[in-house]
Chain A
């Protein structure tokens, strides 16, 4: 899966939790889940669990703490896929 495909998968995962539709339409690597998309921080856990399922990876606590924006999420997904 290339980066564009990963971003599309990530977009479909975060979509149900997004409160700012405009920021979602303009989603880029710089998009912050909390500040831009206004996702309830408690729902980041659901995002992480959906990411685990979609990519068949396991996200550890340290990665979870970093996973606050699209860029970090892509890095974590790439790193975890590389470990497999």
Chain B
């Protein structure tokens, strides 16, 4: 069984595009992780000046990194290496509440299927009040099946 820290270390992202701080739980059926949207993140300067709020695409990316990519690395396990990649193929997300600078969010994904190299998950992001911020379905192709 792969350790959570091992999965984090294998994530291909780096600052300023890493949106996973912590992997809380992971098994073959889903992943749960957390991220704090620090006030210093660069995009807040422009989205929006005087009124910073986390862009929906960044929330989607955060859900994809925790819910899809961490789970994909876990599922591929020893087949995942530096040449592997996980390409996003579709997202269908609804946004219910804003996420402001400084908020910590928790993402939970639930695997719908992993077949023929395609991983599709239901994803959900909650804020510190345990309110659903956004949810939907995200899918990607894991490259070893290309």
> Residues of A at under 8 Å CB distance from B?
40, 42-43, 45-46, 48-49, 61, 64
CB <8 Å contact, B90 and A45: no
CA–CA, A48 and B141, complex, Å: 15
B141 adjacent to A42 (CB under 8 Å):
yes
A43 to B90, CA, bound (A): 9
Query: Taking CB as reference atom, which chain A residue is nearest B118?
Result: A45
B29 on the A face (CB < 8 A): no
Chain B, residues 79-90, CB within 8 Å of chain A (1/0): the string is: 000000000011
In the complex, 13 of the A-B residue pairs with CB atoms within 8 angstroms, ordered by the A residue number, are: A42-B89, A42-B90, A42-B118, A42-B141, A43-B89, A43-B90, A45-B115, A45-B116, A45-B117, A46-B118, A48-B115, A49-B113, A64-B116
CB distance from B26 to the nearest CB of A (A): 23
